[in-house]
Structure 1
């Protein structure tokens, strides 16, 4: 017996109904969709039923937003094609890619806010020559990780970097995206139409569920690991402890700007960084409530309106907004003392660890006592771990209340790094040579 999927499309509502059938999987569409839209749904229900099932259960499906509304493009678009049998020979042009330009037709505020955030920079910083670290990342990926083998020079990026940061999508002769950039769910994807961003990084297609995006798992697929273990830090915190104990019973479906304490007992990532709470409105600018940049080699207070600048945001205002989030559950004394503790840890990292390490690195560089290959140089590798791994963990653990990451995975390992750097530095200055 195979499953018969019947989706009845009424005006303003889609009601799925299921029944068993002895033969072919079919889909029935009634009212509310154009004939072209009906064809799309019926065809894909047979070929990719999971897609149609997600769409039928989505808000888009409920209000009659169809495949055509999101996937059709103007004939002049660089992505325009008729490689789908259902539109071949018609006046319709479609693309598998749905860019922020399409989402922005209905969600203009959200797309605009995203464009002012650090997420906007995700792929641009390493995928274009004007990016923040184009050469450094290109060298790491192509020369070192791919070992300079031409055939594999993009392999580390395709399986790794672009799945979180985003890709620069290129098209083949058939107007379909090539493997060098697709598939990718990276947040800062650069599309052939020139737009940047990827809503499905958090609101996965074709359900686009707001509840899914509000849960920590939406952020955890990228914000984890040795360099930015944010989900681990969250779970180490009291907020994460409460979520793990009872989060399955919380209400994640309230409307934007109506999702407030009471729906949940402790914040998720979205509550602190994005959601409407108290006097704050919902924002898709994840940099808006931040004081420091915590991932650069040296932390500085945010002071730039440019999303391509690592210091994008207004640090003083960002701290006020984050404290306004905390005020919904905590006293002012609790919140003020917490952030003073966190700031001292950030400043300790800057003054006690990064600045001395950078001074030693510069002097060794001036005296030609660093290897050309930084990944084959004990000093440069340790220097990198000091800021990119242990240093980030120390700072982010302190600011997000993850004590094990602020201390044992953070400053405890940093003090070992700095002593190691000093030992190598002193030995090279004394001998005038680089040890083998």
Structure 2
């Protein structure tokens, strides 16, 4: 009886607290911003935090800013601000790949040459990679607040919105990772579009955020690379690709970029780590399919990575041969080897073809396989890889003949 009274008393206290907040009147923030930024206020008051009455603008933005004269004193929330109330979700996110997204901005060798707005001001790559945790300098230059609002858009911060696959498509679409296009045109995506979110068709969140887990990790990682590799033939292809990424030097020895691969969590560096992620995915798939079917489909997708890597390794070797012959001269201080991470800043047409082959067509060949889209695997992936290789063979032969003629 005593315990029952305590529970009722606690519930009553909570109701009175919320009611008191609701009837205590509008805060100075709300009163002012209803005139200055009315839609922001509307979004906030429609969200769960605004409805509860227990969170005010100052809870996230601080109390230093009180008028139009001191706007510069407003604080922009960070992921740590969100952690104060959402510790579990924050810690899951912090251990996953999204939290490491900003590492890539520091890792790309030519990013420092890009327009400031393109990276730091979020008008290019930074616009998606802001989901990662940044250092204080990058955060201050970007002024984009918490990465959590990449999915829970401000100021409503809706859980229901973030659970919809459409929340993912701004970043997971286009040139190098068109997961939205692959999924939405697969049988899974078609069912979702025909029936709506009935639960029958898996969405991004079904497979990558099971039970709301904010860790969001996959077995292969973004680059579809893992070490060690028991398949000796495949390991040979992979070594060549790792050289092309600058993770290994031309002699096959690890470079400083290996640390960036680890920090960015873009590859799986132990058999156990890879297997744990694969087992987790099989468990998710097995909610609708048999475990045997799930393992077969995932295994077939693994083999598409190998097929793509075979073509990719030959192309890298051909271009590396041009460096070895002196047909392509390395930049000062750089190894005599193609660098796939220079992307569109490569200096020769043949290296432009090589980067597109790696970042667009290889990606589509294996990502399409995992997202159950055979058209992407074939016509946007494998067929384009084979065409790229023909072009690279032809161009390399022509460049070699021209160089010999000049001699």
TM-score normalised according to structure 2 size:
0.75
| Residue aligning to 1:138 | 112
Q: Indicate if the aligned counterparts of 1:116 and 1:306 stay in contact, CA closer than 8 A.
A: no
Distance 1:390 1:417 in 2: 9
Candidates 344, 354, 359, aligned match of 1:388: 359
Q: Which has the higher contact order (CA 8 A, sep 6+)?
A: 2
Give the Å deviation of 1:327: 0.8
Distance 1:39 1:227 in 2: 46
Distance 2:16 2:51 in 1: 9
User: What secondary structure, in the 3-state scheme, does the structure 2 residue paired with 1:54 have?
Assistant: helix
Distance 2:388 2:17 in 1: 61
TM-score normalised according to structure 1 size:
0.70
Give the Å deviation of 1:88: 6.0
| Residue aligning to 1:60 | 49
User: What secondary structure, in the 3-state scheme, does the structure 2 residue paired with 1:226 have?
Assistant: coil
Candidates 272, 286, 291, aligned match of 1:332: 291
Aligned: 1:283 with 2:213: yes
| Residue aligning to 2:37 | 48
Give the Å deviation of 1:45: 1.9
Equivalences for 1:235-384 in 2 at 5 Å? 235-247=184-196, 250=197, 264-276=199-211, 282-287=212-217, 290-293=218-221, 295-296=222-223, 299-300=225-226, 306-311=262-267, 314-351=273-310, 353-370=311-328, 375-384=346-355
Q: Indicate if the aligned counterparts of 1:99 and 1:198 stay in contact, CA closer than 8 A.
A: yes
Give the Å deviation of 1:267: 1.1
**Cα-to-partner distance string for 1:254-278 (whole Å, 9 max, x where unaligned):** xxxxxxxxx51111101110131xx
| Residue aligning to 1:222 | 171
**Cα-to-partner distance string for 1:144-172 (whole Å, 9 max, x where unaligned):** xxxxxxxxx3243332122111296989x
Candidates 137, 147, 156, aligned match of 2:118: 156
| Residue aligning to 2:389 | 418
Structure 2 unpaired stretches of 5+ = 1-14, 230-258, 332-344
Structure 1 unpaired stretches of 5+ = 1-9, 14-29, 74-80, 142-152, 172-176, 185-190, 192-196, 251-262, 277-281
Distance 1:402 1:321 in 2: 21
Distance 1:419 1:170 in 2: 46
Distance 1:239 1:378 in 2: 38
Give the Å deviation of 1:308: 2.6
**Cα-to-partner distance string for 1:221-257 (whole Å, 9 max, x where unaligned):** 111112111100011211100111121xx3xxxxxxx
Higher fraction of strand: 1
Give the Å deviation of 1:320: 0.5
**Cα-to-partner distance string for 1:162-185 (whole Å, 9 max, x where unaligned):** 2111296989xxxxx97x524x4x
Relative to structure 1, the CA distance from residue 383 to residue 86 in structure 2 (aligned partners, 3 Å threshold; closer, same or farther) is closer
Give the Å deviation of 1:102: 0.7
User: What secondary structure, in the 3-state scheme, does the structure 1 residue paired with 2:107 have?
Assistant: coil
Distance 1:402 1:376 in 2: 34
Aligned: 1:71 with 2:45: no
Number of matched pairs? 340
Distance 1:270 1:302 in 2: 29
Superposition CA RMSD, Å: 3.2
Equivalences for 1:103-122 in 2 at 5 Å? 103-122=82-101
Higher fraction of helix: 2
Distance 2:323 2:405 in 1: 11
